[in-house]
């Protein structure tokens, strides 16, 4: 009678490798920003030709939106993911529900407002002098006060030591 071998640990489930379409759609839905074929090719390290072919397929499946901006010199084409259609098709997982996205946008706006307020407070604090500058200014002002007090005492002494004169004679001298 042989004893059975100890149970081996089952291999870990391997992650299914994403197809090129899944990679592109996942990247576009996560970033949520519009792309030109050139910028998307740069970020995904792919070619514009491969992306052009893929975008035609994704447009047919309504998984990507396309918008053309025409100017006199050239036409700029932007693509962005239709997250709702991609989630309903099961190609990507929803990064967030529309309600969660709205809440996140409101939170982002609150944080940006708070950041602006903090920058203003920081600017006003940086404009105020520091302690070393205040100490220096205080020392200069203390010297000025001492000098002015000395001048006042000197004038007081001169006034006290001046001979008293008759006001009528002073008035006559002024009016001559």
Per-residue pLDDT of the chain (176 residues; tens, 9 = 90+): 667 666 666 666 666 677 888 888 888 888 888 999 999 999 999 999 999 999 999 999 888 889 999 888 888 999 988 877 766 666 555 556 778 878 888 999 999 999 999 999 999 988 888 889 889 999 999 999 999 999 999 988 887 776 666 677 777 777 87
Tokens of 63: 């998984």
Residues 6+ apart with CB under 8 A from 77: 36, 37, 66, 67, 68, 69
The helix/strand/coil state of 110 is: helix
Q: What is the pLDDT of residue 176?
A: 74
CA distances from 168 to 42, 160, 172, 174, 176 (A): 101, 20, 6, 10, 12
């Amino acid at each position: 009678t042989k004893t059975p071998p100890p149970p081996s640990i089952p291999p870990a489930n391997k992650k299914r490798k994403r197809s090129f379409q899944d990679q592109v759609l996942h990247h576009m839905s996560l970033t949520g920003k519009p792309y030109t074929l050139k910028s998307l090719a740069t970020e995904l390290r792919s070619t514009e030709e491969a992306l052009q072919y893929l975008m035609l397929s994704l447009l047919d499946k309504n998984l990507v939106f396309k918008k053309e901006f025409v100017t006199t010199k050239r036409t700029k084409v932007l693509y962005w993911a239709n997250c709702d259609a991609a989630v309903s098709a099961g190609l990507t997982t929803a990064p967030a529900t529309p309600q969660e996205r709205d809440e996140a946008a409101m939170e982002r706006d609150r944080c940006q407002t708070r950041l602006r307020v903090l920058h203003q407070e920081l600017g006003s604090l940086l404009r105020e002098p520091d302690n070393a500058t205040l100490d220096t200014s205080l020392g200069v002002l203390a010297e000025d006060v001492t000098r002015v007090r000395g001048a006042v005492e000197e004038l007081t002494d001169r006034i006290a030591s001046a001979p008293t004169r008759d006001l009528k004679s002073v008035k006559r001298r002024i009016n001559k």
